[in-house]
């Protein structure tokens, strides 16, 4: 994935070291997906086993939460950094996209555009700004409640896929994807809809709701934790800047969350050097840490410090979180 970042602030790092950190391997990706799907299937089985019991809700919530972290699987394969072997990367890209009811080719193009235009609000603006300015506080806090995404289904991947299947491209895809890619986007979206039809047909034919429960419900039930982690990437950050240290946050997470999140908590580093596989981002940070702000230590630390700025942004567009850069430069 080529991302034009020539006009952005880039910290100094030896070319040899960067080349070493940018090397891809199949082994970490295969281990990751093995553990991911093993845990997903295990909690899916426990959900099925405890159907009719209060424990069902507990295990299904965990299953749904793990399921929703397929977004992180999709993100890493979008960047083509999950595997060295291209076809393995693309195989898991499509598996993850079908899990999430999301067409992958359009997302790859629009996400590349996000990297080139992070938190830019003028002209060719960033369409991946997840929390609006001014902040819609009600919508933001609702996202922490399971099933609340039903209220925003018009903005979901379900509706996006249906629109793509009809040739109606989102603004993000229109501005980022070449026209010769749109046929592939339409085709992929239609394949996803066929998968939906097959799963629903199986449920109806066998008079069994399990396929629908395990495939359609998780992205609504299990979204809160992933949202709480994922939204930190650019929350309340400075807009219209060419410095990722100001527009992007890095958080130190516990090992379990870090694993399912594909280490994207090192998000400032990821935006500076998107060609570096996620499993090397911590090493990358150690190489350039003298140029970076102090990270947040866990979600509690992050929200304690950033939430006041987010609330200010509901009333004042200059209320963004002020980052303290090295050498006591606060911006």
Burial class (CB in 10 A: 0-12, 13-18, 19+), 83: buried
Residue 330 pLDDT > 50, yes or no?
no
Residue 208 pLDDT > 70, yes or no?
yes
- pLDDT band of residue 5 (cuts 50, 70, 90) is very low
- Check residue 1 and give its pLDDT: 42
Residue 129 pLDDT > 90, yes or no?
no
Range with lowest mean pLDDT among 62-71, 83-92, 149-158, 195-204: 149-158
CA atoms in the 13 A half-sphere facing the CB of 115: 23
The predicted-structure confidence for 303-324, as pLDDT tens digits, reads as follows: 999 999 999 999 998 999 999 8
Residue 247 pLDDT > 90, yes or no?
yes
Of 130, 131, 124, the residue nearest 171 (C-alpha): 124
Residue 266 pLDDT > 60, yes or no?
yes
Residue 3 pLDDT > 70, yes or no?
no
Between CA 71 and CA 212 the distance in angstroms is 19
Between CA 70 and CA 67 the distance in angstroms is 6
Average pLDDT of 88-108?
Answer: 96
Average pLDDT of 7-16?
Answer: 90
Burial class (CB in 10 A: 0-12, 13-18, 19+), 133: middle
- Check residue 4 and give its pLDDT: 46
Residue 226 pLDDT > 60, yes or no?
yes
Cβ–Cβ contacts within 10 Å for residue 294, how many? 11
Average pLDDT of 166-184?
Answer: 91
Residue 66 pLDDT > 90, yes or no?
yes
Q: Where are the domains of the chain?
A: 223-331
- Strand pairing category for 251-252 and 296-297: parallel
- Check residue 327 and give its pLDDT: 67
Average pLDDT of 273-301?
Answer: 96
Mean pLDDT of the chain: 93
């Amino acid at each position: 994935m080529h991302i034009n970042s020539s006009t952005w602030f880039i910290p100094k790092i030896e070319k040899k070291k960067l080349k070493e950190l940018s090397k891809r391997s199949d082994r970490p990706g295969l281990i990751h997906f093995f553990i991911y799907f093993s845990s997903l299937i295990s909690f899916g089985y426990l959900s099925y086993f405890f159907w009719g019991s209060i424990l069902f809700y507990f295990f299904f919530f965990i299953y749904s939460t793990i399921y929703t972290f397929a977004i992180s699987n999709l993100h890493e394969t979008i960047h083509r950094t999950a595997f060295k072997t291209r076809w393995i990367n693309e195989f898991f890209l499509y598996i993850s996209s079908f899990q999430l009811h999301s067409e992958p080719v359009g997302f790859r193009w629009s996400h590349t555009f996000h990297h080139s235009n992070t938190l830019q609000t003028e002209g060719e603006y960033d369409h991946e700004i997840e929390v609006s300015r001014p902040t819609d506080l009600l919508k933001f806090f609702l996202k922490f409640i399971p099933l609340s995404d039903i209220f925003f289904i018009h903005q979901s991947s379900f509706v996006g896929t249906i629109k793509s299947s009809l040739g109606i491209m989102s603004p993000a895809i229109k501005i980022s994807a070449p026209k010769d890619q749109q046929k592939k986007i339409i085709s992929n979206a239609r394949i996803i809809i066929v998968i939906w039809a097959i799963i629903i047909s199986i449920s109806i034919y066998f008079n069994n709701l399990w396929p629908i429960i395990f495939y359609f419900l998780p992205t609504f039930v299990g979204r809160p934790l992933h949202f709480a982690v994922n939204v930190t990437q650019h929350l309340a950050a400075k807009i219209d800047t060419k410095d990722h240290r100001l527009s992007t946050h890095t958080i130190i997470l516990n090992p379990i969350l870090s694993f399912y999140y594909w280490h994207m908590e090192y998000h400032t580093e990821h935006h500076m050097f998107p060609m570096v596989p996620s499993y090397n981002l911590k090493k990358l940070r150690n190489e350039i840490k003298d140029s970076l702000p102090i990270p947040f230590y866990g979600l509690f630390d992050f929200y304690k410090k950033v939430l006041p700025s987010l609330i200010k942004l509901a009333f004042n567009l200059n209320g963004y979180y002020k980052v303290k850069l090295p050498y006591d430069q606060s911006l």
